[in-house]
Structure 1
Amino acid sequence: MTDSPDLSFLDLPAVAAGFVEETRPRAHGAGLDAWEYRRVTAGLAALREWPGVCGAAARRHLAAAGQAAAEGRTVTAGEAYRTAARWFHLAGLVPDPDRAAAARVATAADEAMRAALALLDPGAERVEGEGFAGWLRRPAGVRRAPVVVVVPGLDSGKEEFHRVAEALLARGSAVLAIDGPGQGVLAATSTFEPDYHRVVGRAVDALAERDGLDTADGVAVIGLSLGGWFAAAAAAGEPRVRAAALVSGPSRLDWDALVPFVTATLAQRCGGIHAARSFARRVDLDTLADRLDLPLLVVEGGEDRIPGVTGAELPARRLPNAELLLVPHGNHLLGNALADWLPTTADWLARAASARL
């Protein structure tokens, strides 16, 4: 029995059409222009074409960034580099049997974001250590800032959630957006870490060495999609996590009901089908419940329906310090309802990071 996932779905036109439509609000939430997304994905016949068309879009923005930088148009160059990073990130959403190709896309996204931050936020710092790599950004004019750690999910990475980061920075919080094992720039060289509290713990250790950060009483964490589970695991196991927001996070995974795209991505990020099955069995919010006695905000979209994925709404209602923010028309990651959850969640996290909850 092979330990590799079946990727035949990458050649089915109906799967491609569905994926394009489902990813549209996610791309919008990541900061990409909806009309450009439509142009780039128009006529996509199969998901095997996805990395190529998204990569081509990224390279167009890279070229525009290089020209603007050469002409001294710094802000325009920075914005173009940032858009290129987002397109490179999107290019890596589809499971790729070629790990070297996947690594090149993730590296391109990382390098484009490095170039963007160098121009748009020169104070941003690279923070990395065992099992994590990310960017620390600080709010302007704040002498000592509390910290929120942003945790990505199944196929996301630190290049995706810059709207979240900007909302937190505007509210006076410093932001550490990371890739953990099996995520983003680390996806091709490592596999998912179920005990994600170890990852966040090492990241907080790294922050303790930096001036101008208020980490003495801990940090807040926000996790998105499968990152919601990782954030819950961090909150349950790392005592310096003082509060956590779980956005579209699963409470449980039913392997036999998961769609091929999810099982193939899990297999890629976990190192094979058998490891992915084992990981999926670990995802159960009920096993963490007795250690989740800290403030929690659970953000759910009423239209978030992924086969085999049980949302966190019902378990959240049983947790003693959990609040539920349910957006009835929100889809997965609520990219179609940003105004209905992001400002409120950023307010909640800013207060939590300052220990005012």
Structure 2
Amino acid sequence: MTAFFDTPGLLPAFVSTNRSRVVGAGADPFEYDRVTGALQDLLDWPQALERAGRGHLARAVEAETAGHHLSAAAGYRTAAAWLHCATVLPHPDRDALARAEATADEAMGRALALTEPDAARIEGHGFVGWLRFPSGVVRPPIVVIVPGMDSSKEEFHDVADALLPRGVAVAAVDGPGQGLLATRSTPEPAYEKVMGALLDLLGARDDLDQDRVGVIGLSLGGFYAAVAAAREPRVRATATVSGPSSLDWSQLPPFVTETLTQRCGSADAARAFATQVRLDPLAATIPGPILVVDGGLDHIPGATNGAPLAQAAPHARYLLVPHGDHLLGNARPDWLPATTDWLATQLGADLPRP
């Protein structure tokens, strides 16, 4: 077994550390405690969380069959969150990861079909996701939601749900090595390539304002977002949440090194990727405004948080939430409304008409 799974006291520590993350993704906290409380070994995490997700999926199908579309949509979204969160550790069963992510993607699609029929599938070189529109807004600005190392487009419902009523369209995507693409591709540190391909696709539409593009990146997605802000001129405003300014492979904990090794395909490729996660050469070149959000309790060995980015970027604002953990799942009221307000303001978003 790998070094990560040999860590003493791993199961209770992993369950505790990931509680705010899974609950933030859409799981009920009491159900999380029941599901994880029954675990005897962390290797059983994927099966247990996938089973919970499939239970919600079955109930959503029953609700849809009975014509209860709101309940069905909520159930599909909850199922998608559980199914994705089943994948958030470097488990040796890669087929299970692919199966869970594919079912999560299908569940989110079914939810949107019931409640947001104008939502569109978007797919291109290096990305796949959903484009969602605010109601009552003509040619809205758009914000791209960029997930992190082991995240996916299904994890950040709350971010999208906060942006939409502020008059902003949302493109939530899986990029290389993420979500639906986790077993089909490897992470891309030159994320401006992914962002450029995505914005090229969106630029062909006449229902979006391509001159008002923002991006929010979470965890490693914060690094990707900052890279895109520096190198993709169409990005007008950027927010990062728990994003690293740099990684030091020699200091990173086994969870991170083993996850990157899986996602990159080998330890050598993962080390090479980690050496490219450095924002000091780029931060000063970011031309637009950037909001950097950190949690004061977010301490990952080998990962430098966002403060250096905020200090070096010429138009940066820094929001430190002292009691916030990684992704600040334990402190959403302290950053999510302010961050989505800030993005909407920077992009000149119009509030939806009643």
TM-score by length of 1: 0.95
Does the C-alpha gap of structure 1 residues 325 and 174 become closer, same or farther in structure 2, counting only changes over 3 Å?
A: same
Which residue number in structure 2 is paired with residue 3 of structure 1? none
Structure 1 unaligned blocks of 5 or more: 1-5
Pick aligned residue for 1:220 from 214, 223, 231: 214
Which residue number in structure 1 is paired with residue 241 of structure 2? 247
Counterpart residue identity of residue 137, structure 1: R
Alpha-carbon displacement from aligned partner over 1:285-326 (angstroms, at most 9, x marks no partner)? 102123213101000101111111110113312321000011
Pick aligned residue for 1:106 from 101, 108, 124: 101
CA distance in 1, matches of 2:10, 2:342: 37
What does 1:1-357 correspond to in 2, within 5 Å? Answer: 7-10=2-5, 14-215=9-210, 217-354=211-348
Counterpart residue identity of residue 328, structure 2: L
Does the C-alpha gap of structure 1 residues 319 and 290 become closer, same or farther in structure 2, counting only changes over 3 Å?
A: closer
| CA RMSD, Structure 1 to Structure 2 (Å) | 1.4
Does the C-alpha gap of structure 1 residues 295 and 355 become closer, same or farther in structure 2, counting only changes over 3 Å?
A: farther
CA distance in 2, matches of 1:7, 1:51: 17
Report if aligned partners of 1:227, 1:249 keep a CA contact under 8 Å in 2: yes
**Cα deviation, residue 157, structure 1:** 0.5
Report if aligned partners of 1:11, 1:46 keep a CA contact under 8 Å in 2: no
CA distance in 2, matches of 1:350, 1:134: 21
Does the C-alpha gap of structure 1 residues 12 and 43 become closer, same or farther in structure 2, counting only changes over 3 Å?
A: farther
Moved >3 Å (runs of 4+): none
Does the C-alpha gap of structure 1 residues 43 and 9 become closer, same or farther in structure 2, counting only changes over 3 Å?
A: farther
CA distance in 2, matches of 1:210, 1:232: 25
**Cα deviation, residue 12, structure 1:** 5.0
Alpha-carbon displacement from aligned partner over 1:6-48 (angstroms, at most 9, x marks no partner)? 6253355611111110101111221221111111100322221
Alpha-carbon displacement from aligned partner over 1:219-245 (angstroms, at most 9, x marks no partner)? 100000000000011111111011110
Structure 2 unaligned blocks of 5 or more: none
CA distance in 2, matches of 1:100, 1:11: 22
* SS of alignment partner, residue 286 of structure 1: coil
TM-score by length of 2: 0.96
CA distance in 2, matches of 1:230, 1:315: 13
CA distance in 1, matches of 2:266, 2:128: 23
CA distance in 2, matches of 1:63, 1:10: 32
Alpha-carbon displacement from aligned partner over 1:89-111 (angstroms, at most 9, x marks no partner)? 00010113233222111111111
CA distance in 2, matches of 1:109, 1:13: 31
